[in-house]
Amino acid sequence: MVLQRSQIADGSATAKALDYSFRRWGALMRFLDDRQLPIDNNWMENQLRPVAVGRSNWLFAGSLRAGRRAAAIMSLIQSARLSGHDPYAYLKNVLSRLPTHKNSLIAQLLPHYWEPAQAPPLPL
Protein backbone atom coordinates (compact mmCIF):
# COMPACT_ATOMS: atom_id res chain seq x y z
CA MET A 1 0.00 0.00 0.00
CA VAL A 2 2.85 2.37 0.82
CA LEU A 3 4.47 1.71 -2.56
CA GLN A 4 1.17 2.23 -4.39
CA ARG A 5 0.51 5.45 -2.46
CA SER A 6 3.91 6.88 -3.43
CA GLN A 7 3.01 6.40 -7.10
CA ILE A 8 -0.40 8.09 -6.94
CA ALA A 9 -1.00 11.82 -7.24
CA ASP A 10 -2.17 13.64 -4.13
CA GLY A 11 -5.83 14.54 -4.14
CA SER A 12 -6.98 11.62 -6.29
CA ALA A 13 -9.77 9.38 -5.06
CA THR A 14 -7.37 6.45 -4.75
CA ALA A 15 -4.91 8.54 -2.74
CA LYS A 16 -7.69 9.63 -0.41
CA ALA A 17 -8.81 6.03 0.06
CA LEU A 18 -5.27 4.86 0.87
CA ASP A 19 -4.70 7.78 3.25
CA TYR A 20 -7.98 6.93 4.99
CA SER A 21 -6.77 3.33 5.43
CA PHE A 22 -3.41 4.46 6.80
CA ARG A 23 -5.09 6.72 9.38
CA ARG A 24 -7.14 3.75 10.62
CA TRP A 25 -4.38 1.16 10.46
CA GLY A 26 -4.44 0.49 14.22
CA ALA A 27 -8.14 -0.38 14.17
CA LEU A 28 -7.65 -2.62 11.14
CA MET A 29 -4.87 -4.50 12.90
CA ARG A 30 -7.11 -4.97 15.97
CA PHE A 31 -9.74 -6.53 13.72
CA LEU A 32 -7.18 -8.92 12.24
CA ASP A 33 -5.96 -9.94 15.70
CA ASP A 34 -9.47 -10.57 17.09
CA ARG A 35 -11.95 -12.00 14.58
CA GLN A 36 -14.84 -11.44 17.02
CA LEU A 37 -14.63 -7.71 16.32
CA PRO A 38 -16.84 -6.49 13.48
CA ILE A 39 -15.01 -4.99 10.52
CA ASP A 40 -17.32 -1.98 10.53
CA ASN A 41 -19.79 -0.24 12.78
CA ASN A 42 -22.62 0.05 10.25
CA TRP A 43 -25.07 -1.78 12.50
CA MET A 44 -24.47 0.64 15.38
CA GLU A 45 -24.61 3.67 13.09
CA ASN A 46 -27.98 2.48 11.78
CA GLN A 47 -29.25 2.13 15.34
CA LEU A 48 -28.20 5.69 16.19
CA ARG A 49 -29.37 7.27 12.92
CA PRO A 50 -32.87 8.18 14.18
CA VAL A 51 -31.28 10.22 16.97
CA ALA A 52 -28.83 11.92 14.60
CA VAL A 53 -31.51 12.69 12.01
CA GLY A 54 -33.86 14.14 14.61
CA ARG A 55 -31.18 16.18 16.35
CA SER A 56 -32.08 19.41 14.56
CA ASN A 57 -35.72 18.89 15.52
CA TRP A 58 -34.75 18.67 19.17
CA LEU A 59 -32.85 21.94 19.23
CA PHE A 60 -36.01 23.59 20.48
CA ALA A 61 -36.43 21.69 23.74
CA GLY A 62 -37.08 24.95 25.58
CA SER A 63 -33.70 25.46 27.20
CA LEU A 64 -30.22 24.02 27.35
CA ARG A 65 -31.15 22.18 30.54
CA ALA A 66 -34.25 20.66 28.94
CA GLY A 67 -32.21 19.65 25.90
CA ARG A 68 -29.70 17.84 28.08
CA ARG A 69 -32.49 16.02 29.88
CA ALA A 70 -34.09 15.02 26.57
CA ALA A 71 -30.72 13.75 25.31
CA ALA A 72 -30.24 11.67 28.47
CA ILE A 73 -33.71 10.13 28.20
CA MET A 74 -33.28 9.39 24.47
CA SER A 75 -29.92 7.75 25.20
CA LEU A 76 -31.50 5.56 27.88
CA ILE A 77 -34.37 4.60 25.58
CA GLN A 78 -32.06 3.63 22.72
CA SER A 79 -29.69 1.80 25.08
CA ALA A 80 -32.65 -0.16 26.47
CA ARG A 81 -33.67 -1.13 22.93
CA LEU A 82 -30.13 -2.22 22.08
CA SER A 83 -30.03 -4.30 25.27
CA GLY A 84 -33.23 -6.09 24.21
CA HIS A 85 -35.57 -4.39 26.68
CA ASP A 86 -38.94 -2.75 26.17
CA PRO A 87 -38.05 0.94 26.77
CA TYR A 88 -41.38 1.71 28.47
CA ALA A 89 -41.04 -1.22 30.88
CA TYR A 90 -37.40 -0.32 31.53
CA LEU A 91 -38.10 3.34 32.32
CA LYS A 92 -41.18 2.53 34.40
CA ASN A 93 -39.20 0.03 36.46
CA VAL A 94 -36.12 2.21 36.90
CA LEU A 95 -38.11 5.32 37.82
CA SER A 96 -40.02 3.34 40.45
CA ARG A 97 -36.75 2.05 41.94
CA LEU A 98 -34.81 5.34 41.97
CA PRO A 99 -36.18 6.78 45.23
CA THR A 100 -34.99 3.82 47.32
CA HIS A 101 -31.93 2.77 45.28
CA LYS A 102 -28.49 3.45 46.79
CA ASN A 103 -26.45 6.04 44.89
CA SER A 104 -23.39 3.80 45.03
CA LEU A 105 -25.32 1.09 43.11
CA ILE A 106 -26.86 3.37 40.48
CA ALA A 107 -24.94 1.62 37.66
CA GLN A 108 -27.14 -1.46 38.26
CA LEU A 109 -29.99 0.50 36.71
CA LEU A 110 -28.23 1.07 33.39
CA PRO A 111 -29.84 -0.90 30.56
CA HIS A 112 -26.95 -3.33 30.06
CA TYR A 113 -27.04 -4.32 33.79
CA TRP A 114 -30.77 -3.99 34.43
CA GLU A 115 -32.74 -6.96 35.72
CA PRO A 116 -36.50 -6.37 35.66
CA ALA A 117 -37.26 -8.98 38.35
CA GLN A 118 -35.82 -6.67 41.02
CA ALA A 119 -38.64 -4.12 40.70
CA PRO A 120 -40.63 -3.27 43.80
CA PRO A 121 -44.40 -3.32 43.42
CA LEU A 122 -45.87 -0.03 42.26
CA PRO A 123 -48.40 1.62 44.58
CA LEU A 124 -51.92 1.58 43.23
1: CB partners within 8 A, 6+ apart:
18, 21, 22
Residue 8 lies in a domain: yes
- The reply to whether 13 and 49 lie within a common domain is no
Instruction: With a cut of 60, say whether residue 1 has pLDDT above it.
Output: yes
pLDDT at 87: 93
Number of domains in the chain: 2
Residue 95 lies in a domain: yes
Element (H, E) at 53: helix 42-54
Q: How confident is the model at residue 18 (pLDDT cuts 50, 70, 90)?
A: very high
Residue 68 lies in a domain: yes
- For 26-34, what is the mean pLDDT? 83
Q: What is the CA radius of gyration of the chain?
A: 22
- The reply to whether 18 and 79 lie within a common domain is no
pLDDT at 120: 55
pLDDT at 33: 86
Instruction: With a cut of 70, say whether residue 115 has pLDDT above it.
Output: yes
4: CB partners within 8 A, 6+ apart:
14, 18
**In terms of residues, how long is the chain?**
124
Range of the domain at 10: 2-33
Rounded distance between C-alpha atoms, residue 41 and residue 47, angstroms: 10
Q: What is the pTM of this model?
A: 0.50
- The reply to whether 91 and 47 lie within a common domain is yes
- The reply to whether 47 and 105 lie within a common domain is yes
Residue 124 lies in a domain: no
Residue 123 lies in a domain: no
Instruction: With a cut of 90, say whether residue 122 has pLDDT above it.
Output: no
Instruction: With a cut of 60, say whether residue 124 has pLDDT above it.
Output: no
- The reply to whether 71 and 112 lie within a common domain is yes
- What pLDDT, in 10s, does the model give residues 55-114? 666 667 788 888 888 888 888 898 999 899 999 999 999 999 889 989 999 898 999 898
pLDDT at 117: 62
